Amino acid sequence: MNLALFDFDGTITYRESISEFLRYALGWDFYPRLLGQWPYLLGYFLGLVDNQSVKERVLTATLSGRTLKEVADLGQRFAKERLPALVRPKALDRITWHQSRGDEVAIVSASLEVYLRPWAKGVGIRRVIGVELEERDGIVTGKILGKNCYGAEKTRRIREVFDLSQYDEIYAYGDSRGDREMLALATHPFFRPFRD
């Protein structure tokens, strides 16, 4: 049996999905909340702030205080109403190709599981390794459970879920430096394969 590992943002989709989801969840209120985080966003782009810290700042500013059920419901609706327009047809074709061969397909992403899981289920993917939101008493804190699923953390989480020695071939698809370690695991690595 073979394993196919797909990054999501920029690989399966045309662009980054978290900001699209947050815009969907907050409407116009997204912009002033994001604007308040500009020093951290600038620090991230300058390499002074790590990606987990900036992600948690943005998630805290936009989602904290909402119930996990409300955020999960928004994720379900976003996956159905908005995500299909963001998906690259060539990426979806490749997923279907792997499924037709009987390969195990997984999404490994730094995106939020609240919308990744329902989207993946809709296209027949059972395995999703992504970012889970921390909650306390059913309320979202804005923090991430564990580490951001990026770089070396992707490979750690892959090895936690899969016994890689059980697969004949491993395919991996990514588009950024956060995917390098995952691509290095593969017998068939593909960097930015679905771009026109």
The ranges assigned to domains in the chain are 3-191
Cα dist from 93 to 147, 188, 194, whole Å:
31, 17, 10
Distance separating alpha carbons of residues 111 and 77, to the nearest angstrom: 16
pLDDT exceeds 90 at position 164: yes
pLDDT tens digit sequence for 90-146 = 999 999 999 999 999 999 999 999 999 999 999 999 999 999 999 999 999 999 999
pLDDT confidence bin for 49, thresholds 50/70/90: confident
Q: What confidence score (pLDDT) does residue 38 get?
A: 86
pLDDT at 39: 86
pLDDT attached to residue 130? 98
Q: Give the tens place of pLDDT for each residue, 65-103.
A: 999 999 999 999 999 999 999 999 999 999 999 999 999
Question: What pLDDT does 47 receive?
Answer: 84
Which stretches within the chain are classed as H helix?
18-26, 30-35, 38-45, 51-63, 68-81, 83-86, 89-100, 113-122, 152-161, 180-185
CATH of domain 3-191: 3.40.50.1000
Task: Say how far apart CA 24 and CA 44 lie, in whole Å.
Answer: 23
SS3 readout for 132-149 = CEEEECCEEEEEECCCCC
* Residue 176 three-state SS: coil
Mean pLDDT on 24-44? 88
**Cα(186)–Cα(75) distance, rounded to whole angstroms?**
30
Is the pLDDT assigned to residue 172 strictly greater than 90? yes
The single-letter DSSP state of residue 80 is H
Q: What is the pTM for the complete model shown?
A: 0.94
Mean pLDDT of the region 16-25 = 96
